[in-house]
Structure 1
Amino acid sequence: MITLTENAAKEIQKIMLENELAEDVCVRVGVKGGGCSGFTYTLDFDSKKTKFDLDFESQNLTILVDKKSHLYIKDTEIDWSYSLMDRGLKFNNPSAKGSCGCKTSFMFEPPEQEEDFKPSWM
């Protein structure tokens, strides 16, 4: 499951309003290779769910994540920081084994036991 804090949801809804996006648009969260630590988070808006997606409801927003990305960000909470030095989205990912200073890149190490790494959608 992927969740949003109240602060993250407020900021995302604000961006949706500023960009005049329809209310039924979903938040797409994903992972791609790259960054200082091996993987980076992606965040975008999307109106279409595919057969490769999982969907979650959080704070009255629908979150889409492709099944492959979900392996790396399962149980992640997305928050928003209002700090002057560190303003923006923060990914609290229990699967991340380390991250770089920018906090948008992370390292991933699969669990020791294969059973622990079994996708929730299998």
Structure 2
Amino acid sequence: MEDPITITEAAREEIISTLQANKIPDSYGLRVGLKGGACSGTFLLGFDTQSEFDQLYLIDGIRVYIDRRHLMYVVGLSVDYEEGMNGSGYTVSTLSDKQ
């Protein structure tokens, strides 16, 4: 199966750097999901351990946990890391955001 989300090289480097700098155990991975309802929810990113509801994906060497109940809402997302004048941080976009 194709990976449900993509992680840009900038995001991948930042994720690895964050995991190493904070000595986060190998059991942790990147959680991608929804916070709130499907229609009015916001995307959720964070470091977490796997739960019984999660599907584990290994994307470009990064452990990614996605709750099976959220999977249909996050398929096609792209996780990026941007540095700008107002600071830096992760961004999540959908294919429709880029068109």
| TM-score tier (shorter) | 0.7 to 0.9
Alpha-carbon displacement from aligned partner over 1:46-98 (angstroms, at most 9, x marks no partner): 23342x222222221110100222121111110111222362111121367xx
Percent of matched pairs sharing the same residue: 27
Q: How many residues are aligned here?
A: 93
Contact 1:2 1:56 (C-alpha < 8 Å) held by counterparts:
no
Contact 1:8 1:78 (C-alpha < 8 Å) held by counterparts:
yes
Larger Rg: 1
Alignment-derived partner of residue 28 in structure 2: 25
Contact 1:74 1:95 (C-alpha < 8 Å) held by counterparts:
no
Q: If the length of structure 1 is used for normalisation, what is the TM-score?
A: 0.64
Displacement over 3 Å in runs of 4+: none
Any gaps of 5 or more consecutive residues in structure 2?
none
- Offset at 1:24? 4.1
Q: Which has the higher contact order (CA 8 A, sep 6+)?
A: 2
Contact 2:50 2:65 (C-alpha < 8 Å) held by counterparts:
no
Any gaps of 5 or more consecutive residues in structure 1?
97-122
In 2, Cα distance between equivalents of 1:74 and 1:86: 27
